[in-house]
Structure 1
């Protein structure tokens, strides 16, 4: 069974390399009787959400059908298991994936490539890195793990700077999303934060809460450590957060909900977050709405 995040990565890389449009991928997926909605498919192709194996395989098949119809020689999207791959009819589009001691790489050249050298990717998402506890990578000793973490962080920050989001300052296209987030949830503030090597830089903020901070004081810096939504309904009584400087003093944050935003390569470079100075409930439906707003941010980043 192929690791879900690795399967997702192959789909993202295929769509990027073939310059496929997300809407075309979604329509191809619908034509195969897929029942995930457009936001879920876009989120998956942004590295934002994970789909069940059946949907991942159906989407991989939709992508590979598009490659076939256009005559593209780009490597195809992989399936979750050998049976699904063999029955797809697209096995020849797929290079063998090999989990090396350092990174995921391709053990064979792409279809149509007659060179003798294999290709190693330099754009592995953070969620696939062997240093990520949830990535399903190989076990490493302490020295290897520290080296991996250092390399991952270097590449994450590099991806942030290559996005050029830090250079552009505030942009109305992002302010529209944070304004929508604050109004929808009725919180005092919504913001988009970018996490550099040592600081939190606010890209967009609507409301009084949200400012540039040293990284070690940033709640959003904690959020990007994992590919999931961080929700703190009442920080004042939470053992992990009640003594945090932003909770015990300063703006006296009580509620926080944040979800990572990623580059096209899957690197978690920041968050979209909600904050309030009073405790709040946050339902599973609220989490889904926040993730969709994160997908909107990522789509703007990729345009």
Structure 2
């Protein structure tokens, strides 16, 4: 766990170096969540007060998204731990921190100096126990065993619906104006709905769940019109009573970086989905990951 004051220092330095406006940071922050006090957040970014880890990590996510949207090459704001950083989509923005005799220090060049390109949030590699998406890097059976163990360790399958997640799915449906928004957990053989707002989500066998496909990679899966998509046009969720046309989902991870489920949007009408839309959905996934990590 990164020292809270080092994390705060990193956020403040990033904001100053990139010339980010406090109003933009707070506006984006409160688009994501109703949690947090505006004066306390201002105080945190001024070095006057400390805020809880969930708020620090969400502020880091907001700051790094603003760097991405402006094309800034400033080093990103640090997260509270490496797993959160790896799951954020912005790990390439961060300089490596190590514990030295004089406390924390950098042991790498600035991100802009050792990399001329940065990974898009839609194309970032997931943290899967230190492995990427290359099947040659690890045994798929071992990865799946570890993924299922991580899901079980969260206790999420035993607690039913929870307001902390329902709040986020409500926010997702309201923002995108879709029929349904939901959080799904992927077990060995099933899709289990943890939170849902709307009619177009249900528990399913894993082999029928679109979310099971989503967790295969750490990027947003978007199907603008499933009725004309070669892979999905004959799917029972498309041809059956639900008549799903639009789907967008982003993976959610446990504190050890294993992709255990998704936050998803579905609609019975085709829809477009912009890069900004994908960014918002990824923010909502980050909120869920922060909740899981608490």
Flag whether TM exceeds 0.5 (same fold).
yes
1:232 aligns with 2:223: yes
| Offset, 1:127 | 7.3
Q: Deviations 1:125-180 (Å, cap 9, x if unpaired)?
A: 327426x22xxxxx84xxxx7x7000000001100110111111100111010000
| Residue 53 (structure 2) aligns with | none
CA apart distance, 1:69: 9.2
Spell out, residue by residue over 1:184-218, the C-alpha distance to the aligned partner (whole angstroms, 9 max, x if none): 00000000001111111111000001111110010
For 1:22 and 1:167, the matched residues in 2 are separated by: 36
Measured in 2, the distance between the counterparts of 1:159 and 1:52 equals 22
- 2:87 aligns with 48
1:249 aligns with: 240
Note if 1:263 corresponds to 2:268. Answer: no
Which of 179, 189, 198 is the aligned partner of 1:207?
198
Quick one: which of 182, 199, 205 aligns to 1:191?
A: 182
Runs of 4+ in 1 over 6 A off after TM superposition: none
Distance 2:176 2:101 in 1: 43
Partner in structure 2 of residue 181 of structure 1 = 172
Cα displacement (A) at 1:79 = 3.6
For 1:230 and 1:284, the matched residues in 2 are separated by 12
Distance 2:290 2:267 in 1: 26
Question: Structure 1 stretches of 5 or more lacking a match?
Answer: 1-15, 86-123, 134-138
C-alpha contact 1:194 1:269 (8 A) present in aligned 2: yes
**What is the count of residue pairs matched by the alignment?**
228
Distance 1:21 1:277 in 2: 47
1:56/1:80 contact within 8 Å kept: no
Aligned with 2:8 (options 24, 27, 34): 24
Counterpart contact for 2:225–2:245, Cα < 8 Å: yes
Distance 2:239 2:272 in 1: 20
On the 8 A contact 1:261/1:294 being kept in 2, the answer is yes
What's the secondary structure of 1:243's corresponding residue?
coil
Aligned twin of 1:286: 277
- Please give the alpha-carbon distance, in whole angstroms, between the structure 2 residues aligned to 1:24 and 1:184: 30
Deviations 1:56-75 (A, max 9, x none): 22xx3xx44xx559847xxx
2:131 equivalent in structure 1:
129
Specify the structure having the higher radius of gyration (Cα): 1
Q: Which ranges in structure 2 are unaligned for 5 or more consecutive residues? A: 26-58, 65-76, 115-125
Displacement after TM superposition at 1:220 (Å): 0.4
Please say if residues 85 and 91 of structure 2, whose CA atoms lie closer than 8 Å, have aligned partners that are also in contact: no
Taking only aligned residues, the RMSD between alpha carbons, in angstroms, comes to 3.3
- The question of whether the paired residues in 2 share the 8 Å contact of 1:129 and 1:152 is answered with no
**Separation of aligned partners in 1, 2:262 and 2:179:** 17
The 2-side partners of 1:35 and 1:200 are apart by: 44
Scaled by the length of structure 1, the TM-score of the pair is: 0.65
Distance 1:26 1:252, change over 3 A: farther
Asked whether the equivalents of residues 234 and 279 of structure 1 are also in contact (C-alpha less than 8 Å), the reply is yes
1-structure distance, mates of 2:249, 2:6: 25
Which residue number in structure 2 is paired with residue 153 of structure 1? 144
**Residue pairs, 1:107-146, within 5 angstroms:** 125-126=127-128, 128-129=130-131, 132-133=133-134, 140=136
Work out the CA distance in 2 between the residues paired with 1:167 and 1:156. Answer: 17
